[in-house]
Amino acid sequence: MTAPKTRRPTLMVVHAHPDDEASQTGGTLARYAAAGVRTVVVTCTDGAQGDGADSSKPGDRDHEPAQVAARRSRELAESGAALGISDLVRLDHPDSGVPDSADDIDPHAFSRMEGEPVVRRLEALMREYRPDVIVTYPPNGFSNHPDHVRTHELTVAAFERIKRSGGLHPHNDHSDQNEEGGPHPRSLPKLYYIAVSLSSLKAVRALAEAALGPDAWITPLYVAVDTVTAAVDVSEFWPHKLRALAAHASQADAAALLRLFSVPGDEGRVEEYLRAHPPWTGGTRESDLFEGARETP
């Protein structure tokens, strides 16, 4: 009799732009990849409204969006290698840029496009990879960027369709059924939003101000939240996160974060999350996103 094939635990992280995987979830991805988890990163836009050659900005005469997108795709691949990412999925929708700025020019950009095709694609990817854990942005996109907000909206819409259908149990796979033959509740992935606590951010800011001076760019306090429900220790994998950020060398934002995250100190060597499903009801913070996730078949 053939032994049943085991399935690797799977983490799916849905981001808006190339470099978000490094700056916001790089340590988490590296930690779980090293532990044998299949790590899937979905990047929704092509990043074409990022920095171009010679630091040119969108709207500048020498800014070439197609060239920017091609370079950022190569940087994403390099970052993925640094983090040990198993699968990179590029949806390559047009980058929206920043509202009311020179790069806010494409009426077909990701934040404006019809959402249904993207929701269907994300739902299909969830069914293909069967993640045990999904991570994406909170409702405000973590930074209020329209592409981040849209990524949240469409990822949650796809998740809700999975939920209404009974989960990710595959056809003819009885491992995800309960004793009555219905969908097993654990066939639905856990869903987390990226977050940072006010206490953690204040500690990082204090270290950065001491090391880099008052004029250095520091993550603004408005991105912090009062409560996080999971704090993943990524101290062992901080060098992987820094290498992934360094891969995005064309982007000034990534360079600023690389400088900030390179400040010596023990503070900030965690990546924090808010659990959206199952809903958080209080208690001790999780230290492992897979805590309570389904066992693999």
1: pLDDT strictly greater than 50: no
Write out pLDDT tens, residues 249-258: 999 999 989 9
In a domain, 268, yes or no: no
Query: Where in the sequence is the domain holding 250, given as residue range(s)?
Result: 10-170+184-194+235-263
201: pLDDT strictly greater than 90: no
Cβ-Cβ contacts under 8 Å for 153 (sequence gap 6 or more): 115
Write out pLDDT tens, residues 88-124: 999 999 998 766 655 555 678 899 899 999 999 999 9
In a domain, 222, yes or no: no
172: pLDDT strictly greater than 90: no
Range of lowest pLDDT (171-175, 208-212, 244-248): 171-175
Q: What is the pLDDT of residue 206?
A: 83
Write out pLDDT tens, residues 42-97: 999 999 989 998 888 887 888 898 999 999 999 999 999 999 999 999 999 999 87
The pLDDT of 191-213, averaged and rounded, is 87
User: What single letter denotes the amino acid at residue 232?
Assistant: V
Range of lowest pLDDT (128-137, 181-190, 198-207): 181-190
The pLDDT of 132-139, averaged and rounded, is 97
The pLDDT of 176-203, averaged and rounded, is 74
Residue 103 belongs to domain with CATH number: 3.40.50.10320
Domain count, the chain: 1
Q: What is the pLDDT of residue 169?
A: 66
User: What single letter denotes the amino acid at residue 230?
Assistant: A
Cβ-Cβ contacts under 8 Å for 261 (sequence gap 6 or more): 238, 241, 242, 245, 268
Q: What is the pLDDT of residue 266?
A: 62
In a domain, 220, yes or no: no
For the chain, helix (H) and strand (E) counts, in that order, are 7, 7
Range of lowest pLDDT (3-17, 41-55, 79-93, 176-190): 176-190
Average pLDDT, the chain: 87
Retrieve residue 35's tokens.
């532990």
The pLDDT of 146-171, averaged and rounded, is 90
Angle between helices 238-247 and 252-261 (to 10 degrees): 160
In a domain, 227, yes or no: no
Q: What is the pLDDT of residue 101?
A: 59
Which helix (H) or strand (E) covers residue 69, if one does?
Answer: helix 65-83
- Locate tokens 């999971």: which residue? 230
Helix (H, G, I), strand (E, B) or coil at 223: helix
Q: Around 47, how many Cα atoms within 13 Å sit in the side-chain half-sphere?
A: 27
The pLDDT of 125-153, averaged and rounded, is 95
**Alpha-carbon distance 265 to 53, whole Å?**
34
The pLDDT of 12-26, averaged and rounded, is 97
Helix (H, G, I), strand (E, B) or coil at 154: helix
Cα four-point dihedral sign 224, 226, 230, 232: positive
215: pLDDT strictly greater than 80: no
Query: Which has the closest alpha carbon to 292: 174, 190, 164?
Result: 190
In a domain, 108, yes or no: yes
Residue 212 · residue 262 · CB < 8 Å: no
Q: What is the pLDDT of residue 124?
A: 98
In a domain, 297, yes or no: no
Q: What is the pLDDT of residue 151?
A: 98
User: What single letter denotes the amino acid at residue 294?
Assistant: R
In a domain, 148, yes or no: yes
**Alpha-carbon distance 39 to 129, whole Å?**
10
Q: What is the pLDDT of residue 178?
A: 44
Pairing, β 10-15 against β 38-45: parallel
94 prior amide bond cis, ω within 30: no
Spell out the SS3 assignment of 164-232: HHCCCCCCCCHHHECCCCCECHHHCCEEEEEECEHHHHHHHHHHHHHHHCCCCCCCCHHHCECCCCEEE
In a domain, 115, yes or no: yes
pTM: 0.89
Query: Which has the closest alpha carbon to 146: 93, 218, 191, 197?
Result: 93
Residue 133 · residue 41 · CB < 8 Å: no
User: What single letter denotes the amino acid at residue 167?
Assistant: G
